[in-house]
Chain A
């Protein structure tokens, strides 16, 4: 047992080390490769005012989505659950866009609060629609999520088409997770939401492990499946809302990351949650860096690059499920 623990710790350490290297690489690469050892003022300005906020926001967003995916896959006992596929991200984005359109103003809380409300409402709706005769059914849940997600993105498109507001016209880029204009402005609230969500998920990590084994087992282990699921769902919604409020809708990170972590390191929620944050953050940083590098000076939205990585993986998972 001790040897296994050591093994896990070693792998986790390697992951964190590798991620740090990748993030450093993301910071210096872009349209031009910046040499951190021969800094002039212009380079430093680019590094601190443009690259640093992008890398930080991408890491926080990716981390939040990764952890939120890990939680959702556990509580819905479906390997295909993810805030994007379940429509939660679209719900958050739609409520933010409508709020901006109708001039709702809660000061600096406007975007994060609307985003959270949208995430919770959509999640609730999807769960309601995903209920069959015998409680939550993974396939039903997935279909409900896809249906609701499509409906919400269509509504968002409609809003954007009829609105003449300059901010909303930008919503298209926002919908595809564009990080090219991010600054530190959205970071404090985003970070706050993510930390609360993560703390909540950690507090209930034993419940999350139990839920993965099935409601009956969870019950016999002394957990109340309903309340555990509710708390964990709130945590996932908080983290998704934070991600959307910082940079818009990015898909597939929440899907891919927990699988990678579980496959290579271990499936205990206590390990999966923090490592999903690290690898999710690193993956989105990498996607954003690729987006600003491959077609420079054109910027590909990081959400598009993430989908290029994530969608094939999603198909691979479906295929594997079928073969079983």
Chain B
């Protein structure tokens, strides 16, 4: 078969499958969902759609049940063949982390896709509601969004009740190599809500590389360390704090340990917001 015959057959099939995709869109909620990102997988389970999930990425570790689903490859490079083989009604992906090309190819193959794309922390509740509607879980999504809005509101009112100036804060994502949360991230926006001034906001990039020297020069008043439940990371954090021991913040123990709730823009952001608020109040 030459290329041209193949292309014609391909074209015919594309239309055929595109047609069936639209038919599903108009009808009942999807029964077979493939998730292309950990945040999506978590969100699908929180929306009560866990049973409908048929495929996840190799990085989808939460909740534990998700790890038993069929793997379709990695987030930056999902295997299109593996996705197709699962015959999904809809493929849910994230704008951050999934290649645009994957969305284009899946659409060309006639698969229905949904792209979760919260603009920022403030836009997250709306994005969750929209996704809930698209997947037939509107009421659950609304509940989740409202909980998130409440958590944000609480943070704002607590911060405005506090009269003192915004504290210079640094959010450490990973100690070695030293990566901190920069501007434009959900973490940065959550810090702002809590009346903290992110020292790394002026650095270039969302997750800038930092050096111990820069931290010492900038003199943060509060240091927050994320994903502190990780054991290997705990040891590296101790050695970093040893390097930073001349800092007032370290001497006074103004170091707060957080979970990884703010790392994925999904359901557990509520948890992360609450922990961050507590950090601000305790230290």
The majority secondary structure among interface residues of chain A is helix
Stretch at the interface among B9-17, B43-51, B142-150, B187-195: B9-17
- Could you list some 14 contacts between A and B, CB below 8 A? A30-B81, A46-B84, A48-B6, A48-B9, A48-B13, A170-B99, A170-B101, A180-B77, A180-B80, A181-B102, A183-B105, A296-B82, A298-B74, A299-B74
- Selected contact of A181 from candidates B3, B10, B105, B204, CB within 8 Å: B105
Q: A48-B10, A166-B100, A187-B3 are in contact. Are A173 and B77 (CB under 8 A)?
A: yes
Determine the distance from Cα of A30 to Cα of B84 in the docked complex, in whole angstroms: 13
In the complex, what residue of chain B is closest to A188 when comparing beta carbons? B3
Contact B99 A50 (CB under 8 A): no
- A124 in the interface, Cβ–Cβ < 8 Å? no
Determine the distance from Cα of A166 to Cα of B99 in the docked complex, in whole angstroms: 8
Instruction: Kindly list chain B residues whose C-beta atoms are within 8 Å of the C-beta of A154.
Output: none
In the complex, what residue of chain A is closest to B57 when comparing beta carbons? A297
- B108 in the interface, Cβ–Cβ < 8 Å? yes
**Which 10 interchain pairs have the tightest Cβ spacing?**
A297-B82, A297-B79, A297-B73, A181-B101, A31-B81, A48-B10, A297-B72, A299-B77, A31-B82, A49-B10
- A35 in the interface, Cβ–Cβ < 8 Å? no
- B268 in the interface, Cβ–Cβ < 8 Å? no
For chain B, the bracket of interface size reads 20 to 34
Determine the distance from Cα of A51 to Cα of B1 in the docked complex, in whole angstroms: 14
Contact B99 A46 (CB under 8 A): no
Instruction: Kindly list chain B residues whose C-beta atoms are within 8 Å of the C-beta of A162.
Output: 204
Determine the distance from Cα of A56 to Cα of B6 in the docked complex, in whole angstroms: 11
Contact A167 B13 (CB under 8 A): no
In the complex, what residue of chain A is closest to B58 when comparing beta carbons? A298
Instruction: Kindly list chain A residues whose C-beta atoms are within 8 Å of the C-beta of B64.
Output: none
In the complex, what residue of chain B is closest to A184 when comparing beta carbons? B7
Instruction: Kindly list chain A residues whose C-beta atoms are within 8 Å of the C-beta of B17.
Output: 45
Instruction: Kindly list chain A residues whose C-beta atoms are within 8 Å of the C-beta of B81.
Output: 30-32, 46, 50-51, 292, 297
Contact A42 B10 (CB under 8 A): no
